[in-house]
Amino acid sequence: MTLDSQHWTSLKTHQQRLKNTTLRDLFSENPDRFGQFSCSLDDLTIDFSKEKVDAEALAALVEFAKFADIEASRQKMFSGQHVNFTEDRAVLHTALRGQPEDQFVADGTPLSEMISEVLERMCSFAEGVRSGDIKSATGVKFTDVINIGIGGSDLGPAMVTRALSPYRDGGPNLHFVSNVDGAHLSDTIANLDPKTTLVLIASKTFTTAETIANAKAARSWLRDAMDNKGANQHMAALSTNLEGTVEFGIPAERVFGFWDWVGGRYSVWSAIGLPIAIAIGAGNFKAFLAGARSMDQHFQSAPLEKNLPVLLALIGIWRRNILGYPTVALISYDQRLERFAAYVQQLDMESNGKQTDSNGNRVAIQTGPIIWGEPGTNAQHSFFQLVHQGTDVIPVDFILGAKSGSSLTDQHELLQANCLAQSQALAFGKTQDEVAAEMKADGQSDDEIKRLSPHRTFPGDRPSTTILHRQLDPFTLGRLIALYEHKIFVQGVIWGVNSFDQWGVELGKQLAKALVPVVRGEPSENLDSSTSGLINRINELG
């Protein structure tokens, strides 16, 4: 995508035209902005009426998407072409939630049968663990399951399992260990019984350093409590490396694989989702897949101007490249979505945090934004001060359910009111005159009004999008994740980057591997003075 295209110029022209127009002005000029600037798929509604766009700017954004040939790129991905061009791979995580009639193919091979075979094996295993048909070495039901992974092998299953905890229905307790810091594993197993604990080791290659280190420690914990054969019966692997998993002691029938066209951060739909299936049951896991498929079908068929992932992506382009806002706060007004921001953070920042385009040139525009956030209403009492009155404008994506996931409906109404109030306050703020009038009506003196009114003024004109659904359930969550997956893909196409590789994590891994023996005491003459000094200091303190 070239910066000198007429479409970039057009978008900048619209930004200049709207520069001195506030969101107050836009709502005053068009009281029905919600009707014009919201879009729905069944119960899922995205309201971007509080974004700093008007009809002309939105039309220009849609034209820009057409110029970027989003539809052709979308077709390439779904048809199995190697859109991951730096690793020469297809990108077909969508096939994992497909049906036979979708006819997904990779390198000439139909995928439905092999995907179905793995899915049914993992669902059968999950139901066996849940029911107690698959027993521990001591002949009793597993009470706890530890998933050991990192990155995409941890964040997705951990987030989804937490989000769908009401669907556990008697299943075992799920625990997630990712950090190579021994405290993570030791704190997790402190109150668990190894004789009733199943350990899942999630590593596509079965070589991920952090995961294997934790897996070996967990295996030792199991073996200390029972013989090796019994310990092996308490392990399963989510990996393609059958030789490595068998050598580790895991029976071949307890290894669940996936394929190189499934990227790590897109793997929650694959065998990496086994802990989810154990947590919520096979039926609910399949509903989770079905929700994602419904978004896939919408993304493939809806016109761009009514296409939810495309619209969400274009608003993001407007924020990032036209208005120049580098971050997005993702605020879920659902405590069970407390890990959702972290999940999308990896999904977005690892996908589009790139500075090299498809031609190997440095990109000339800003790419992936910084994604961060916490659940509301906690966020309101921590960093929302900066969001409302700080010197930087921070766009916000709000996520809200119409129905509560708990029996405390009065509290849910309070939650909803808070979410709506935050988006309202960000958009419209409160002028100093309005503050002064309120203080005067409250009987405060002119001196107090003059002293305090500047501090109590809210600038407003701060953009937000609200994503509303009926209620958080497996189908809804699958659809929501797929929405963000496709949004990120569209933005990657516009920026001209490969959203499906992650070379940026490799250098740190290589250096860490080389530094391990040095930290353990071996001499090295090739260190910079900072690293050498820090290692010496570590040894002094240790």
Condensed to tens digits (0 to 9), the pLDDT of residues 43-62 reads 999 999 999 999 999 999 99
| pLDDT at res. 437 | 96
Closest CA to 139 of 196, 224, 86, 77: 196
Q: Which of 19, 113, 243, 381 is catalytic?
A: 381
350 is a catalytic site residue: yes
Q: Which of 350, 412, 469, 486 is catalytic?
A: 350
Identify the helix (H) or strand (E) that includes residue 480. helix 474-495
CATH code linked to domain 6-67+302-428+462-500: 3.40.50.10490
381 is a catalytic site residue: yes
* Mean predicted lDDT score pLDDT of the chain: 96
Tell me how far the alpha carbon of residue 412 is from its chain's centroid: 24
- Place 130 in a pLDDT band, splitting at 50, 70 and 90: very high
Q: What is the dihedral of CA 443, 449, 452, 453, to 10 degrees?
A: 110
What six digits make up the tokens of 401? 């359910």
509 is a catalytic site residue: yes
278 has pLDDT over 70: yes
Closest CA to 286 of 90, 127, 91, 102: 127
4 has pLDDT over 70: no
**Domain-by-domain residue ranges, the chain?**
6-67+302-428+462-500, 93-288, 507-541
407 has pLDDT over 90: no
| pLDDT at res. 326 | 97
Closest CA to 116 of 130, 98, 103: 98
Q: Which of 66, 403, 450, 509 is catalytic?
A: 509
| pLDDT at res. 1 | 54
Phi, psi for residue 371 in degrees, rounded to 5: -105, 130
Express each pLDDT in 211-239 by its tens digit: 999 999 999 999 999 999 999 999 999 99
Q: Which residues contact 522 (CB under 8 A, 6 or more apart)?
A: none
- Place 7 in a pLDDT band, splitting at 50, 70 and 90: confident
Count the helices and strands in the chain (H runs, E runs): 22, 13
Express each pLDDT in 75-122 by its tens digit: 999 999 999 999 999 999 999 999 999 999 999 999 999 999 999 999
Please tell me the distance from the alpha carbon of residue 234 to that of residue 229, in angstroms, as a whole number: 9
* Domain 6-67+302-428+462-500 shares a fold with domain 93-288: yes
| pLDDT at res. 476 | 98
- Place 525 in a pLDDT band, splitting at 50, 70 and 90: confident
Q: Quick one: fold of 93-288?
A: Rossmann fold (3.40.50)
User: Quick one: what percent of the chain has pLDDT higher than 90?
Assistant: 94
| pLDDT at res. 24 | 97
| pLDDT at res. 290 | 98
Residue located via tokens 């929700």:
291
- Interior/surface letters 402-430, b for 16+ CB within 10 angstroms, e for the rest: eebbeeeeeebeebbeebeebbebbbbbb
